Structure 1
Amino acid sequence: MDGLAAKQLLDVIGIGIGPFNLGLAALLEKTECKSIFFDKQPRFEWHPGMLLEGTTLQVPFMADTVTMVDPTSRFSFLNYLHEHNRLYQFYFLESFHIPRNEYNHYCQWVAQQLPQLQFSSEVENIERTEEGCFQVTVYSSDKGKRELYTAKHVVLGIGTEPNIPEKFRLEDSGRIFHSSEYLEKRNQAIQADSITVFGSGQSAAEIFYDLLSRQSDYNYQLSWYTRSKGFYPMEYSKLGLEHFSPDYTKYFYQLPQKKKQGILDNQSLLYKGISFSTISDIYDLLYERTVGNSKPDVHLQALTELVSAEDRHDCLQLSLYQHEQEVSKQVNTDIVIIATGYQPCTPDFLEGIGSLLERDKNGQLVITENYKVKTNDNGNHHVFVQNGELHTHGVGAPDLGLGAFRSATIINQIAGQTIYKTYDDNVFQQFGMQF
């Protein structure tokens, strides 16, 4: 690019600084690899719109950035507690599931110790050099200029984006927002006369409970709808959790691609349900609110889908459809909060190497078992993916507990040697026939 000079050749450039690339950066400390990581946000923030008091991670604290492949790392959660003089408090807490806001603070603590992390830096383009490396154009809002960086490998850790179905997209409404914005817009919502939540997962349940807890102070009508069959708990049995292991990932990867989507569709309760404790908290509060046959202004209904939404200026008119009864109904509400999850995103900056990357018939990146994007030039330098391989590797792709394993697998390839040990036998069950 005219006027820009590339800096020294790096071993790896990480794009996006979420928990997974943060872990990669931390684990690279035990290598001689030169790296730099970019994120357009001004600082590390992990789902800031859902850092509600009283909410916890749904995985044990050992699913930090490093522990599952390097429990002696200075970046472990236990060392974070030690450095903050909280080990005894955590010891007496006797809980594997830590507060969500503490996990975010832990990640910020890790980020502060890694000088190769560059925030307020947006990647704009990637191109292949004549030598087969990757040239990355980055705009730094802090510096107010663009710079070029060149690396042998690129690791995509850009995460996902809020999934907002078309029926919820009302321009300039201001009355509909995604769960990812909940904390930012909660004060606006609780001033309304009526609030409606859509979704069947943990985020929808946490938002509903938070609003239910505040309802007595603000006197809004509160509704919760889901098109799912019920407000069901997430699968959390010990043998069920073994699906979030390297063993199951290996089994799933080797299945025919045409089978994989059907399997994923039937595994939703492994990662999309509600925790037992949140369901219990909601029920207990509803029970208390109905003492003496009181009737709180609350409505919960499953098997019900939003067909359309219309902004009537003074309210939103929702058209709902109940699948088993096969009947429709219209209801009015002031605010709609959609907890419809997240979806993969295809960043514009990949266009510069778009012809190089292989895609399947659905337009999804073809990813090898070791997290490389397949390319059509068979080069020695690669694009790796973190949490963009659900379609190839299965339900464990977004799970924090497998992040360190995936980072270690990528690092061992980048370094050209085994820096971190990984193991083949991690669970008690067999996921397929052994021959």
Structure 2
Amino acid sequence: MNTPPPPDTDTPRDLVGIGIGPSNLSLAALAHPLAELDAVFYEQRPRFDWHPGLLLDGARVQVPFLADLVTLADPTSPWSFLNYLKTHHRLYPFYFAERFHIQRAEYDTYCRWVADHLPGLHFRHQVDAVRWNPERDIFEVDFTQLDTDGEAEALGRTHTRNIVLGIGTEPYVPDPLRPLVEAPGVPVLHAADYLAHRDTLLAAGHVTVVGSGQSGAEVFLDLLRHRPAGHERLHWIGRTEAFAPMEYSKLGLEHFTPDYTRYFHALTEPVRDRLVSAQWQLHKGIDAGTLAAIHDELYRRTLDGGWPDAVLTPGVRVRTAGRISTTRIELHLEHTQQNTRSRLTTDAVVLATGHRERPLDRILAGLDPYLRRDSRERPRIDERFRLVLDPSVTATGCQVYVQNAERHTHGVGAPDLGLAAWRSATVLNTLTGKDNYPLPTRTAFTTFGLEQRQPQIPPARRPPTLTPLRDGI
């Protein structure tokens, strides 16, 4: 659409949030009682939706219900999960259910309740560009308002002193399989779309699930439970050396605390990059209960003798893939330990290959001249979740904050729901210069590192000063 943007007339806001997923919804909920804060949030989708293709019956969120949008920063907030239950007259049933981990569908419903009642949230608003206006010392945000069909209805522009990017993640498809997803014919789809195509997959002759994480396990279990005994015709493969359980020990979980986040951020860039790949079992492993359910289902199918027609093979990567007919696909596999290769013919493929952070480059293109990057050209992000920008921008007090796109600087907890409220509170305390949400000085029994850095809590914003940019931010 080539229509020029509207004239530059908006009164600057204090905060514009881009994206309304759990991270920015948490920020909006905690910002709501701050009456002096003029905040607005934009989302191009028509409503809040949290991984709708994976809301399988019985699938549970892998963090306790206390990791809602607000509780770990403000247990008295009206936007807590417990208040959601109370509002819907479900507090006693939840009490007697004794469920520390709630169903994924219930978490999605809770978030939609918050999104439906919070002011300042604008769905069907697609942000097109973010720019810095050096003449006014302000950010410009251009957006397109979409109609019910997703078509452009109107253009708009707003101005703001602060921006919070919460654009979330997107399904990841490995390069060897990308052409198959984009071509018609045999169903090859990402697990994010599983429920929409479940009937087609259940009717397929042979189904292959690629990916050894939680979503792969849940999809495999769901297919296994709904295919006849002796005729399962399922193959589950993954790159990891085992279908490994997620690290869920009490001290292991302390990697998802503010203490560890601060420790990780202070490490050098090469050490951080090495840790991110090495800590896969902290966030890419499989819930032990799901693994047990898969084994139970497989074992049940041996009671009458014989073995189920289901193959589980870890340590396998897909080298290449192609269609051998209008109804069949051939995957070329390699076993990484045996250094052997084979071919697998299948009628459908589910890619449980995870999600990756959406690239910030498109939305930040207008800020590129001011943006500081690391040795791998990733945006630098400071300890308070702010993009490291040129001092000519930050000296004005204007900032761009990042939510759930900072794993390379803040570690494994970046996408974890249990840190969302703390991160949102940190952003709001820094942005307002007030201690709106007092944060704990210590959150883990583990002491990470020999050198202790003080203060542990990011202080409230002070008057801006020009300081040299440090490497490794």
Q: TM-score range by the shorter chain?
A: over 0.9
Instruction: Answer yes or no: is 1:15 the counterpart of 2:18.
Output: yes
2:332 — aligned with what? 319
Q: Percent identity?
A: 42
2:387 — aligned with what? 373
In structure 1, C-alpha distance between the alignment counterparts of 2:321 and 2:11, rounded to whole Å: 53
2:140 — aligned with what? 135
In structure 2, C-alpha distance between the alignment counterparts of 1:413 and 1:295, rounded to whole Å: 59
Q: Given the alignment, which residue of 198, 207, 215 partners 1:203?
A: 215
How many angstroms does 1:190 deviate by?
1.3
| Aligned-partner SS, 1:264 | helix
Q: Given the alignment, which residue of 90, 96, 104 partners 2:94?
A: 90
How many angstroms does 1:184 deviate by?
1.1
| Aligned-partner SS, 1:169 | helix
| Aligned-partner SS, 1:293 | coil
Given that 1:191 and 1:218 are in contact with CA atoms closer than 8 Å, whether structure 2 keeps it comes out as no
Given that 1:315 and 1:332 are in contact with CA atoms closer than 8 Å, whether structure 2 keeps it comes out as yes
1:303 — aligned with what? 315
| Aligned-partner SS, 2:160 | strand
Q: Given the alignment, which residue of 80, 83, 87 partners 1:76?
A: 80
How many angstroms does 1:424 deviate by?
2.1
Whose RCO is larger (CA < 8 A, sep 6+)?
1
In structure 2, C-alpha distance between the alignment counterparts of 1:36 and 1:2, rounded to whole Å: 19
Q: Given the alignment, which residue of 25, 28, 36 partners 1:25?
A: 28
| Aligned-partner SS, 2:16 | strand
In structure 1, give the amino acid aligned to 2:344: V
Instruction: Answer yes or no: is 1:334 the counterpart of 2:342.
Output: no
How many angstroms does 1:355 deviate by?
1.5
How many angstroms does 1:327 deviate by?
1.1
In structure 1, C-alpha distance between the alignment counterparts of 2:320 and 2:28, rounded to whole Å: 44
Structure 1 moving runs of 4+ over 4 Å: 217-220
TM value normalised by structure 1: 0.97
In structure 1, C-alpha distance between the alignment counterparts of 2:137 and 2:79, rounded to whole Å: 33
Farther off after superposition, 38-47 or 335-344: 335-344
1:421 — aligned with what? 438
Any unmatched runs of 5+ in structure 2? Answer: 453-473
Instruction: Answer yes or no: is 1:106 the counterpart of 2:118.
Output: no
Counterparts of 1:385-400 in structure 2, within 5 Å, are 385-400=402-417
1:254 — aligned with what? 266
1:172 — aligned with what? 183
How many angstroms does 1:218 deviate by?
11
1:244 — aligned with what? 256
In structure 1, C-alpha distance between the alignment counterparts of 2:112 and 2:7, rounded to whole Å: 32
Any unmatched runs of 5+ in structure 1? Answer: none
1:364 — aligned with what? 378
In structure 2, give the amino acid aligned to 1:11: D
Given that 2:61 and 2:102 are in contact with CA atoms closer than 8 Å, whether structure 1 keeps it comes out as yes
Q: 1:8 to 1:327 in 2, by over 3 A?
A: same
Q: Given the alignment, which residue of 363, 367, 382 partners 1:353?
A: 367
RMSD: 1.4
In structure 2, C-alpha distance between the alignment counterparts of 1:78 and 1:314, rounded to whole Å: 49
TM value normalised by structure 2: 0.90
How many angstroms does 1:148 deviate by?
0.6
| Aligned-partner SS, 1:305 | strand
In structure 2, give the amino acid aligned to 1:337: V
In structure 2, C-alpha distance between the alignment counterparts of 1:216 and 1:89, rounded to whole Å: 35
How many residues of Structure 1 are paired with residues of Structure 2 in the alignment?
A: 435
In structure 2, C-alpha distance between the alignment counterparts of 1:144 and 1:366, rounded to whole Å: 35
In structure 1, C-alpha distance between the alignment counterparts of 2:71 and 2:226, rounded to whole Å: 38
How many angstroms does 1:364 deviate by?
0.9
1:154 — aligned with what? 163
